[in-house]
Amino acid sequence: MNETSALAVLLFVVLGLGIGSLHFVSLWWSVRSYVRSTSHGWTWLLHIGRVLVTAGAFVWVASNGALPLLSTLAGFLLARPLVARFVTRAA
């Protein structure tokens, strides 16, 4: 692996952290909204939007190859415990 591909892997990991952070924070908002509200219309839109943005991002990354996809997935999975720690302190 040369320097360019190592930098690309790092950038895709950071991209995965961003996608994962957005995904899991919006999941937290959705759950809070379902629990606290009787009107779930906007919560459904948030849910659908979260899934479409996450899936679209991963489809775009997959078009760049397997290594970018795996790097982004690693960042996405790393984002989950980070967001969980953040939202439990905020709650």
The string of pLDDT tens digits covering residues 40-88 is 788 888 889 999 999 999 999 999 999 999 999 999 999 999 999 988 8
pLDDT band for position 9 (cuts 50, 70, 90):
very high
For residue 36, pLDDT beyond 90: no
For residue 4, pLDDT beyond 80: no
Which pLDDT does position 49 carry in this prediction? Answer: 94
Region 29-39: what's the mean pLDDT? 84
Which pLDDT does position 32 carry in this prediction? Answer: 87
Q: What is the largest CA-CA distance in the chain?
A: 54
Alpha carbons 64 and 82: distance in angstroms, whole number: 26
Task: Specify whether the CB–CB gap between 75 and 13 falls below 8 A.
Answer: yes
pLDDT band for position 33 (cuts 50, 70, 90):
confident
Alpha carbons 5 and 29: distance in angstroms, whole number: 36
